Amino acid sequence: MREEVGFSFELTDSDGRTAARRGFISTPHGMAETPLFMPVATQATVKAMRPEQVADLGFRVVLANAYHLMLRPGVEVVADAGGVAAFMGWEGPVLTDSGGYQVMSLGSGVRITPEGAHFRSHLDGSSVFLSPESSMEAQAALGADIAMALDECLPHGADRSTTEASLALNADWARRCLAAHHAEGQALFGIVQGGTHPDLRERGADLMAPLGFAGFGLGGLSVGEPRGLTLELVERTVARLPAERPRYLMGVGDPAGLLGAIALGVDMFDSVLPTRLARNASALVGYGRLNLRNACYGRDATPLDPDCDCYTCSGFTRAYLRHLVMAKEILGFHLLTVHNLRSVSRLLERAREAIRDGDLDTLLRESHADRELRR
């Protein structure tokens, strides 16, 4: 454990030919090089993984969901344990998502008022009220190194006037989050919304940029719009945000999406993709995917990915992994999760090296991310 008490972000390299940049964040629970990817520990566990196995795969920060932990086991239980990291045995920084996205995607009977979000728990139907103030309180109690402001997350395809109204509400909630944020050493990130309207994304960024957040999430993206549009919206947003603050593209984890956004100057990512694909028998191999339910792997004695250095690829054949998956054996989900997470961490390692070497273009071409970028 380091002696720092606060959060800082430092840039060390930039790719000459793109907007990509390299650096590191420092938090009360340690440092992490950027660009970084955060495995998702929704319920205070990265699904099917021991905590130190996640670290051994090359990750330094995990993301936990304040929404889920508030509903189960309850913030007090986690606080009693000394916070999410201590509760789950994670020896590193934790970012907590505020719950705005989960209210929209999981809550029922959601009613948004100027005060906050009223909804019913997806677990037991009980009424819950989440406000900027209560979200800050919860994330402080959860002991996050990085907390996220509470935002209203509109469903994909929201029209222009709904989106404009939501931007105003989010700006108000953002100010209230900042006012209510007192957790020592904890950084608070704002979240820029704006739907799929490029000018509203810019307005969202303009509203958030001056408020004094330690970093900025880009929310509500990659939820159904074409990849090229996602990257255009990222590019427009990033252009309006302060260069010296980290930019965090929320919910993106596919190889081309990661590399495209890195080329636009994004520093942080999270996504359930690698862990969720694993539970669907799907492996990230190269820049593509391989589904072990396909009968052609039934007698395939090769590893998932011969170029991968992970535990799974070092010891097990596709035939065995397919057998585990077909038999719904827990070990199959674990082994695929290990591989998929390692696949993402290797990609980030390569991206950081490429930025240092001024050669991100090679990765962009390999992954075909270059085809989606406006150059």
Site residues (vs a copy of itself, CB under 8 A): 43-45, 47-50, 72-73, 77, 80-81, 87-89, 298-299, 301, 311, 315-317, 319-320, 322-324, 326-327, 329-334
Nearer to a copy of itself, 212 or 315 (CB): 315
Query: What count of Cα atoms within 13 Å lies in the side-chain half-sphere of residue 208?
Result: 38
Least distance (Å) between residue 297 CB and a copy of itself? 11
* Residues 264/229, Cβ–Cβ less than 8 Å: no
Nearer to a copy of itself, 99 or 190 (CB): 99
The sign of the dihedral angle between the CA atoms of 193, 199, 205, 210 is: negative
Nearer to a copy of itself, 14 or 53 (CB): 53
Using N-to-C axis directions, what is the helix angle for 330-356 and 360-367, rounded to 10°?
Answer: 140
Least distance (Å) between residue 30 CB and a copy of itself? 18
Least distance (Å) between residue 298 CB and a copy of itself? 7
Nearer to a copy of itself, 49 or 150 (CB): 49
CB count in 10 Å sphere of residue 346: 18
The sign of the dihedral angle between the CA atoms of 3, 243, 165, 261 is: negative
The catalytic residue among 15, 270, 305, 370 is 270
Least distance (Å) between residue 51 CB and a copy of itself? 8
**Residue in 368, 106, 122 with CA at minimum distance from that of residue 260:** 368
3-state secondary structure of 118: strand
Residue 309 designated active-site: no
Least distance (Å) between residue 45 CB and a copy of itself? 5
The catalytic residue among 97, 151, 254, 267 is 97
What is the full DSSP assignment across 125-159? --EEEE-HHHHHHHHHHTT-SEEE-----PPTT--
Least distance (Å) between residue 331 CB and a copy of itself? 5
Nearer to a copy of itself, 84 or 249 (CB): 84
* Residues 354/360, Cβ–Cβ less than 8 Å: yes
Residue 97 designated active-site: yes
* Residues 138/178, Cβ–Cβ less than 8 Å: no
Strands (E) in 55-112, as ranges, are: 62-65, 94-97, 108-112
CA–CA distance, 139 with 181 (Å, rounded to integer): 9
Nearer to a copy of itself, 24 or 67 (CB): 67
CA–CA distance, 214 with 353 (Å, rounded to integer): 25
Query: What count of Cα atoms within 13 Å lies in the side-chain half-sphere of residue 241?
Result: 31
CB count in 10 Å sphere of residue 109: 9
> Which residue numbers are catalytic?
97, 270
